[in-house]
Amino acid sequence: MKIAIGADHAGFALKEQLRRRLAEEGHEVLDFGADSAESCDYPDFAQPVAREVAQGRFDRGILVCATGIGMAMAANKIAGVRAAPAQSEDQVRLTREHNDANVLTLGARYLDEQHAAGLVHIFLNTGFLGGRHARRVAKIAQLEES
């Protein structure tokens, strides 16, 4: 799977751990930064990851900041992106099954590497159920157009 990944300074360490793991698992991973734990602005990393996913150049995106919320807000400004912050396995599974989320945002303050890696695994391996959920996701796309 092709994965775009990015983080701000608060998510840098966790992003690095996840990037290494994903590459070891055989995924093609492109890192959009940050390249250090020096203070920076999360929208600068959310935007390119979101654009690449929205344009279909990557299958999924993963963004990490302190809470996962700022990254989700910034990524969701890009049409075609359905970014979801999540901290539990159930949240990740449901956002894939019901919302066809294509970007997962994680909060480094609340997740250790093992937990985050488990969430990423679920995100990458859970399919979209379609059906009534497809109708709802289509309505999100309509909102982007108005």
- Residue 68 tokens, joined: 């996962």
The active-site residue, picked from 98, 115, 121, 133, is 98
- Residue 124 tokens, joined: 């990458």
Find out whether 48 and 32 touch, Cβ atoms under 8 Å: yes
Partner residues linked to 103 by β-bridges = 61, 83
Active site residue 98: yes
Nearest-10 Cα torsion for 116, 6, 62, 25: -70
Residues in the chain: 146
Active site residue 40: no
State the SS3 of 31-73: ECCCCCCCCCCCHHHHHHHHHHHHCCCCCEEEEEECCCHHHHH
> Which sequence positions are flagged as catalytic?
65, 98
